[in-house]
Amino acid sequence: MNFNGTQIPPGVSSVLIVDLEAIKHNYRHIQSLAPDTEIGVSIKSDAYGLGASVIAKTLASIGCKTFFVATIDEGVKLRSDLPNTEIVILNGPTANSEWLFVEHQLTPTLNSLSQIDTWKTLKKDNIPCKAAYLHIDTGMSRLGLSINDVSQLCSNVNMLNELDIKVIMSHLSCADDEKSSTNKKQLVLFNTLVKQLTVITGPVRLSLANSAGCLLGSDYHLDMIRPGASIYGLKVTKSAQNPMRRVVHLLAQIIQIRNVDHPSTVGYGATHKINQPTKIATLAMGYADGISRASGQVSNKDNRPFATAFINGKVAPIVGRISMDLITIDVTQIPEAKPGIYAELIGNNISIDDLADISGTIGYEILTRLGQRHHRIYKGLDN
C-alpha cells in the first residue's frame, strides 16, 4: 500500500509518519528568527512522543548542540546517541543521583537551594562534572529558585561562588499570548535577578524563551532559546498563523466496510442512529492510539464540532463512540473507501491543533499521547 508516495508494509494497521525534513525546516525557521542565539531543543518525553533518539540525531546533524530533557533517565538513555552534545536535565539532580550526572556527563538544571547543595558535594570533592544551569522562577511557581532563594544566595556568597554556573534560565508562563503583560514583567524580573546573581557567578549565558517566547521578538531571545513544540510543527501562539511545517501524519487502515441500509445504530451506547442507507468504514485505530474518546460525537444530536477522518482529502466524519481499538466513520459519499486503504486522522487536512481544539486540550497533549502501537515511518531518515 502507498499513501501519498509513502510505502506502507503489509500487516500495518496504523502509521505514524514523522517528517524529518519538516523538522529540519522548522528548526531553520526558528534559527532565522533568532540568528545570533543558540538553539537548545526540548526533546523531553521522547521528543513529545515522536522519538527523541532519531529526532535529536537529525537535529545534531544540522548543528544543534544542546538538548533539554525532563528526567535523569531520559538523559542517560540518550547519551550514547548524542556523544558530542550537551544534555540538560530540566528537573535537576535528585537525592543520590549526582553520580549519574558524572558518569553520563549530563548537565543539571539547579532548581532549588537543596539541589545546589547536592551539586556542591561533587564540587567539594573535585569530581569532574559539567557546568550547571541555574533556574530562577519568575512566575510559574513550579521549578526554580524563588526571589527569596535568590536573596539568600546573594547574601551568602559561599553558596554560589564555588559552583560553575554556565547558564541562568527562567520560563515564561504566558508566552503564547503576545498581548499578555506578564511576558514583559517576567523579562524585567529575570534581568533584575540575573544582575544580582552575576555579581557572584561572573558572566553567564541567559535563556528565557520556549517556542512561543521565540516568537515574542528579540528582547526575549537572549543567549539561548529552548523551543520544542514549534520544531514538531505545533501552533504555539494564540493569534498568528502557524509558520511551522506539519511534521506528523497519522493514518489508520480501513478493516471493514458495512452498508447499513435499515434503521440501526453505531457503536457503544447505540448513540449514533442511522435512518437512511449509510456506508460505514471501521478503522483500526482507537482511543488507545491517541484519538481521544472525547473528540468523537456523543450522539447525532450533538452540535459540538467532532473529529473527522479524511480519505483522499474527502471528509469522513467519525460516527458513534470511539472504541479502544476501533473508530467508525461515515464514508457514504466516498466510493473509493474500501478495506485496505488508509484514512488520515492527522495530517494535511486536519492538524494536531485542530484535533486538540475539538478534544478540549492542547496540541502538546495530543502529540505526547499518540502511543506506541503505530508503525513509525521517519521520512527523510537517510538524507
Ligand X SMILES: *Cc1c(COP(=O)(O)O)cnc(C)c1O
CA nearest neighbour of 351 among 268, 211, 197, 247: 247
Q: How many whole angstroms separate alpha carbon 374 and alpha carbon 325?
A: 12
What span, in angstroms and rounded, lies between the C-alpha atoms of 207 and 225?
6
272-to-189, 292, 300, 316, 335 alpha-carbon distances in Å: 54, 17, 5, 15, 22
Reply yes or no on whether 268 is catalytic. Answer: yes
Asked whether position 377 contacts ligand X by CB under 6 A, the answer is no
51 binds ligand X, rule: CB under 6 A: no
**Of the listed 27, 44, 133, 364, which one is catalytic?**
44
Q: Which of 49, 93, 227, 296 binds ligand X (CB under 6 A)?
A: 227
- Of 18-47, binders to ligand X (CB under 6 A) are 42, 44
Beta strands in the chain, from DSSP E residues, in sequence order: 2-3, 6-7, 14-19, 38-42, 66-69, 86-89, 107-110, 132-135, 165-169, 205-207, 224-225, 248-260, 264-266, 272-274, 278-283, 308-311, 314-317, 327-330, 342-346, 375-379
Is 226 a binder of ligand X (CB under 6 A)? Answer: yes
User: Contact at 8 Å (CB) between 257 and 341?
Assistant: no
Q: Which is nearer to ligand X, 44 or 279 (CB)?
A: 44
- Give strand pairing partners of 327: 283
Residue 44 or 246: the one with the smaller Cβ distance to ligand X is: 44
CB of 49 to ligand X, least distance (A): 12
Q: Is 221 a binder of ligand X (CB under 6 A)?
A: no
Nearest to 195 by CA among 206, 180, 182: 206
Least Å distance, CB 282 to ligand X, is: 35
Of the candidates 184, 238, 268, 338, the residue annotated as catalytic is 268
Shortest Cβ 116–ligand X spacing (Å): 18
Binding of ligand X at residue 229 (CB under 6 A)?
Answer: yes
By beta-carbon proximity to ligand X, the closer residue of 160 and 244 is 244
Residue nearest ligand X, Cβ-based: 228
Least distance CB 44 / ligand X (angstroms): 6
- Shortest separation between residue 283's beta carbon and ligand X, angstroms: 29
> 3-state DSSP call for residue 61?
helix
The correct pick among 23, 93, 137, 171 for binding ligand X (CB under 6 A) is: 171
27 is catalytic: no
User: For residues 25 and 245, what is the distance between their CA atoms, to the nearest angstrom?
Assistant: 7
CB of 345 to ligand X, least distance (A): 22
Nearer to ligand X, 90 or 266 (CB): 90
Cell of 238: 494564540
Contacts of 357 (CB under 8 A, 6+ apart): 305
- Chain residues binding ligand X by CB under 6 A are 42, 44, 90, 171, 210-212, 226-230, 236
Q: Which residues are marked as active site?
A: 44, 268
